Amino acid sequence: MKYDTMLRGMFSGDVPVQTDSDGFVVIDRSGKHFGVILNYLRDGDVALPASQRELEELLAEAEYYRVERLITGIQARVSKPQLPVERPDGSSVVASSCEEAVAFIQSTEKVCDRHG
């Protein structure tokens, strides 16, 4: 693995591993965000969820698995304002500034003008 994480520690013998009666490794966590954690470890980048609650859940998992660079990225995102924007075409996005919100809306209006 590219990162010094809890998973690396488990499989290198540095972190004690809990197993069940059949010898399978037990990780007592919800699997909801595990795929995101694995994709980050695999690719070094991942799309973060727009929802504040989802970000906080993912942050808790990243902290549990000790994925430091992902933790840093999530913390930076959590500290930015989250402005939900509903665009004229009915889609929605999350902007981190008023300027970004205006740009999202204007870009959709231009597309609608060309097709309307």
Pair (39, 65) in one structural domain = yes
Pair (111, 74) in one structural domain = no
- φ and ψ at residue 87, rounded to 5 degrees: -85, 160
Pair (59, 105) in one structural domain = no
As for how many domains the chain has, the answer is 2
Cβ neighbours, 10 Å, residue 51:
13
Q: Model confidence over 3-40: pLDDT tens digits?
A: 789 888 888 888 889 999 999 989 989 999 999 999 99
* Domain carrying residue 111: 81-116
Pair (86, 45) in one structural domain = no
pLDDT for res 73: 93
CB 74 within 8 A of CB 55: yes
**Rg for the chain (alpha carbons), in Å?**
19
Q: Model confidence over 82-111: pLDDT tens digits?
A: 677 777 777 777 776 677 777 777 776 554
Pair (34, 64) in one structural domain = yes
pTM, two decimal places: 0.63
Q: How far apart are CA 54 and CA 31, in angstroms?
A: 13
